[in-house]
C-alpha cells in the first residue's frame, strides 16, 4: 500500500534538495509532479485539486526559515497537508457515558465487516472493555457462524439469533443484543450488519432500521481500500442512506494505490478511526493521520515501532540489559531474550520497513533471512544455562556438542560465539560513549 505514491513523492521532493531558494517555476513544477503522483494513486480529483492549491499557496508564501532549507520547507508543507487530508488529529472512539456503548458496523459485503468485528472486539478487550458481539448479518450464509468463530478467537461472546426458524429479523436481533449486553454488563456492543455486493436500497433500509432501533454511539462505515475510486462513491451512498460517524479502512495490506485512504475523509467529512491490514485478528490498529503521512513520505513510522516495542519489552528488564551492556556483562541468555522479544513484534523485514529511509532499502529488506535467525536461536538453545551465562567456557568440545545438538556446523557455532564477543565489546564501548 502507498508504495508507488511514496516512491514518487520521495523522488519529487528529493529533486528539490540542494537548491538554495525555490523559484515560482520550481514550485509549479514540483506541484505538477505531486499532482500526477496523487492522481496515479487513485486519489479523488477534488481532493487532489484542493491539496495542490494549498501546497502551492503555502510554498510560495513560505516565510524564510532559519531552521529549514527550502526543500525541507516543502516537505514539511506536504507532510502537514497530507496529515490534514487524512483527518488531522487521531480520532478516538466515542464511548457512551451510560454503557453499553453501541457500535454498529455497515458496509458492502466482502468489505471485511465480520473480520473487523472480531478485531475490534479483541482490541476493545485489550483496552480493558468487556465487549459483546451481535450477529445481525442474517443475509449471507455462514455470516453468523463466521462471527462466532472470530468471537471465540478474540475471547469475546457472541449474541446470535436462534437457528432453525428461517431468516430472523436483524432489527429484533440487534435490539435484543443490546438488551443482553445491558443485562450481562457488557460495556460495549459491536453489531455486525448485512452488506450486499453493491449499494442497494433494501440494504440501506435495513441498516437504517437497525440504527433507529439501537441508536448507536458510533456507526462505522467499513470500506475495502482496494476498491479505489469506488470507495468514495460507496461512502457517499452510505453517508446519504444510513449516515456514519467514522470510517474503518480494511485491506491496507493489499497491493492497492491508496487513493481511497486519502480521499474518503475529505469527501465524506467523517474521520478514519481504524485501519485493518491483514486477515489475522491482530492486523488492526488505531488510525493515526500523522503516522500515515510520514509513512507515505518515506519518513518511516517510528512512533508505531516504538509503541510495538513498548508492548513486548519489559521496561525493567530493558534497563537491566542496558546496564549489562554498559559493563560488558551481557550474556547469551540476555541476547536470546532480546532477540525473542524483537521477533515477537513481527517479521524483522516489517520492523525495518517502518524505519525512516526504508523505502530505498526495499531490496535489502527482501533479503532479511528469518531462517538465519532461527539458526542463531537454535544454537543458543543448544547451550547449557551455564554456557549461556558465561560464553567464555564454550571450548572446542562444547562447540562440537552444541553443533550436533542444534543441527548446524561447528563453524556456525564458532561464528556466533566470536561475533557475540565482538558485539559485546563494541556495545560496551558505545554505551561508554553515550554515558549509559
The residues binding ligand GDP (CB under 6 A) are: 107, 109-115, 195, 250-251, 253-254, 276-279, 283
Q: What is the sign, positive or negative, of the torsion defined by CA atoms of 307, 311, 316, 321?
A: negative
Shortest spacing between CB 105 and ligand GDP, in angstroms = 8
C-alpha radius of gyration, the chain, whole number: 26
252 is in an annotated binding site: yes
251 is in an annotated binding site: yes
Distances (CA, A) of 277 to 115, 248, 320: 11, 11, 35
Shortest spacing between CB 150 and ligand GDP, in angstroms = 8
Q: Closer to ligand GDP at the Cβ: 113 or 424?
A: 113
Q: Closer to ligand GDP at the Cβ: 301 or 334?
A: 301
255 is in an annotated binding site: no
Shortest spacing between CB 265 and ligand GDP, in angstroms = 18
Q: Closer to ligand GDP at the Cβ: 279 or 329?
A: 279
Shortest spacing between CB 274 and ligand GDP, in angstroms = 10
Distances (CA, A) of 31 to 9, 130, 134: 10, 49, 48
114 is in an annotated binding site: yes
Q: Name the nearest CA neighbour of 263 among 421, 50, 414, 428.
A: 50
Shortest spacing between CB 102 and ligand GDP, in angstroms = 19
Q: Closer to ligand GDP at the Cβ: 111 or 231?
A: 111
Q: Closer to ligand GDP at the Cβ: 72 or 109?
A: 109
DSSP assignment of 300-341, as one string? --HHHHHHHHHHHS-HHHHHHHHHHHHHT---HHHHHHHHHH
Paired strand residues for 190: 103, 133
Shortest spacing between CB 219 and ligand GDP, in angstroms = 15
110 is in an annotated binding site: yes
62 is in an annotated binding site: no
DSSP assignment of 245-266, as one string? SEEEEE-TTSS---HHHHHHHH
Task: Order across the sheet with 246-250: list the strands.
Answer: 158-159, 131-136, 188-193, 101-106, 218-224, 246-250, 272-276, 284-286
Tell me 96's DSSP state.
P
107 is in an annotated binding site: yes
The four Cα atoms 243, 255, 46, 104 give a dihedral, to 10 degrees, of 10
Q: Closer to ligand GDP at the Cβ: 10 or 276?
A: 276
Shortest spacing between CB 233 and ligand GDP, in angstroms = 17
Q: Closer to ligand GDP at the Cβ: 44 or 275?
A: 275
112 is in an annotated binding site: yes
Binding residues for GTP: 107-114, 192-196, 250-253
Amino acid at each position: 500500500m502507498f508504495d508507488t505514491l511514496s516512491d514518487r513523492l520521495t523522488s519529487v521532493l528529493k529533486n528539490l534538495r540542494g537548491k538554495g531558494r525555490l523559484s515560482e517555476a520550481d514550485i509549479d513544477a514540483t506541484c505538477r509532479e505531486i499532482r500526477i503522483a496523487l492522481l496515479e494513486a487513485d486519489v479523488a480529483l477534488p481532493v487532489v485539486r484542493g491539496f495542490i492549491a494549498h501546497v502551492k499557496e503555502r510554498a510560495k508564501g513560505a516565510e524564510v526559515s532559519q531552521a529549514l532549507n527550502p526543500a525541507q520547507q516543502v516537505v514539511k508543507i506536504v507532510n502537514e497537508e497530507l496529515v490534514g487530508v487524512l483527518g488531522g488529529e487521531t480520532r478516538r472512539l466515542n464511548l457512551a457515558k451510560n454503557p453499553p456503548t453501541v457500535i454498529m458496523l455497515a458496509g458492502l459485503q466482502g468489505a471485511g465487516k465480520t473480520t473487523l468485528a472480531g478485531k475490534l472486539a479483541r482490541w476493545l478487550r485489550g483496552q480493558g472493555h468487556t465487549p459483546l458481539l451481535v450477529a445481525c448479518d442474517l443475509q449471507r450464509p455462514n455470516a453468523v457462524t463466521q462471527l462466532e468463530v472470530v468471537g471465540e478467537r478474540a475471547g469475546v461472546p457472541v449474541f446470535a439469533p436462534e437457528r432453525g426458524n428461517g431468516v430472523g429479523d436483524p432489527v429484533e436481533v440487534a435490539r435484543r443484543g443490546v438488551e443482553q449486553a445491558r443485562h450481562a454488563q457488557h460495556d460495549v456492543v459491536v453489531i455486525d450488519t448485512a452488506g450486499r455486493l453493491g449499494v442497494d436500497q433494501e440494504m440501506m433500509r435495513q441498516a437504517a432500521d437497525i440504527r433507529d432501533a439501537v441508536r448507536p454511539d458510533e456507526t462505522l462505515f467499513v470500506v475495502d481500500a482496494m476498491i479505489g475510486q469506488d470507495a468514495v462513491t460507496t461512502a457517499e451512498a452510505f453517508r446519504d442512506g444510513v449516515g456514519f460517524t467514522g470510517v474503518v479502512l480494511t485491506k491496507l495490506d493489499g497491493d492497492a494505490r491508496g487513493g481511497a485512504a486519502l480521499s474518503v475523509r475529505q469527501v465524506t467529512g467523517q474521520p478514519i478511526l481504524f485501519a485493518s491490514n491483514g486477515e489475522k485478528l491482530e492486523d488492526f490498529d488505531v488510525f493515526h493521520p500523522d503516522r500515515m503521512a510520514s509513512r507515505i513520505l518515506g519518513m518511516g513510522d517510528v512512533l508505531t515501532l516504538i509503541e510495538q516495542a513498548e508492548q513486548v519489552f519489559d521496561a525493567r528488564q530493558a534497563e537491566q540489559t542496558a546496564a549489562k551492556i554498559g559493563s560488558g556483562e551481557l550474556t547469551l541468555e540476555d541476547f536470546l531474550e532480546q532477540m525473542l522479544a524483537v521477533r515477537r513484534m513481527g517479521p524483522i523485514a516489517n520492523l525495518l520497513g517502518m524505519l525512516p529511509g526504508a523505502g530505498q532499502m526495499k531490496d535489502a529488506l527482501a533479503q532479511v533471512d528469518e531462517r538465519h535467525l532461527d539458526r542463531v536461536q537454535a544454537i543458543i538453545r543448544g547451550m547449557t544455562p551455564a554456557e549461556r551465562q558465561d560464553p567464555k567456557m564454550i571450548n572446542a568440545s562444547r562447540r562440537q556438542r552444541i553443533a550436533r545438538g542444534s543441527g548446524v556446523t561447528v563453524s556456525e557455532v564458532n561464528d556466533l560465539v566470536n561475533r557475540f564477543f565482538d558485539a559485546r565489546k563494541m556495545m560496551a564501548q558505545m554505551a561508554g560513549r553515550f554515558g549509559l
